[in-house]
Amino acid sequence: MSMPDPAIRFDRGDGLHLALRMTGGAAPAILFLPGYASAMTGGKATALDAWARRTGRAMLRLDYSGCGESDGRFADGTLARWRDDVLAVIDACEGEVVLVGSSMGGWLALLVALARPDRVRGIVGVAAAPDFTAWGYTEDEKLAILRDGRLQKPSPYGGTEIVTKGFWQSAEALRLTHAEIAVDCPVRLLHGESDAEVPPWLATRIAERVRSADVRTILVKGGDHRLSRGADLALLVRTVAELVEGL
């Protein structure tokens, strides 16, 4: 088995280094944004990277601060901090990007597009989960976060999921779906019909709120939250390729 390419160490500007992997090629570059407590080595990111290499498309993958191979503590991470990680990478690069965001990465993709409308040419959300602090936790869990400073609960993928009060407060301040989302680039939303973590109705809510006239939602029959089956990955690659070719 071949070893993955070593990560590039990128200084955010404050001495903290983010781990990046880059594939050179044609613009606009694909920038993959992982989900909460996830990393750039997952199946969706690597499937897109393989496609980019085959087709000569530029691609960037990163681990947010405190995640994966990047510096920092996960407990210090907030939605605003991770958004700023992405913005620092975009600002250090040339050219336009297409953002592919998985779960929380879909929330970040919308926030980044709002902050850099001149740089973001398109968005593909995979089970995009904006505002999950509003609908993803019970009232008891929300109270525990505020009272105890963090919530620990079993992750559906093994181990323990930790949500800190700092993340919670940052995310609550960056909620989007209560009003128009002033994003004008093409948006594609893939969502599993059987997603037990992010409700499928949210894809429709995002589509309604985004200002762009070029928005499509694709509901995947039998698809779960990860959308990582072979057919799901093929759909993701095809969706990204069609969006890029239409720009």
Report pLDDT digits (tens) over 64-92: 999 999 999 999 999 999 999 999 999 99
Q: What is the mean predicted confidence (pLDDT) over 92-105?
A: 96
Q: Which pLDDT value is given to residue 223?
A: 97
Domain ranges of the chain: 20-127+175-245
Looking at 3.40.630.30, 3.40.50.1820, 3.20.20.450, 3.40.50.300, the CATH number of the domain 20-127+175-245 comes to 3.40.50.1820
Q: Which residues of 106-123 are buried (b: 16+ CB within 10 A; e: fewer)?
A: bbbbbbbbeebeebbbbb
Q: What's the angle, vertex CA 93, arms to CA 244 and CA 126, rounded to 5?
A: 40
pLDDT digits (tens, 9 = 90+) for 171-227: 999 999 999 999 999 999 999 999 999 999 999 999 999 999 999 999 999 999 999
Catalytic residue (one of 70, 102, 170, 225): 225
3 falls in which pLDDT band (50, 70, 90)? very low
Mean pLDDT of the chain: 95
Is the C-alpha dihedral spanning 217, 81, 142, 158 positive or negative? positive
Q: Is residue 124 packed enough to be buried (19+ CB in 10 Å), middle (13-18) or exposed (0-12)?
A: buried
Q: Is 71 a catalytic residue?
A: no
Distance between CA atoms of residues 68 and 39, nearest Å: 5
* Catalytic choice (38, 103, 170, 191): 103
Amino acid at 214: D
The average pLDDT across 13-30 equals 94
CA distance 143 to 126: 29
Is 178 one of the catalytic residues? no
Tokens representing 41 are 């080595």
Q: Give catalytic status of residue 225 as yes or no.
A: yes
Mean local confidence (pLDDT), 17-27: 96
Phi, psi of 79 (to 5 degrees): -60, -40
pTM here is 0.96
E strand residue ranges, the chain: 8-11, 17-23, 26-33, 57-63, 97-102, 120-126, 150-154, 160-164, 187-192, 215-220
Main-chain dihedrals φ then ψ at residue 84, nearest 5 degrees = -65, -30
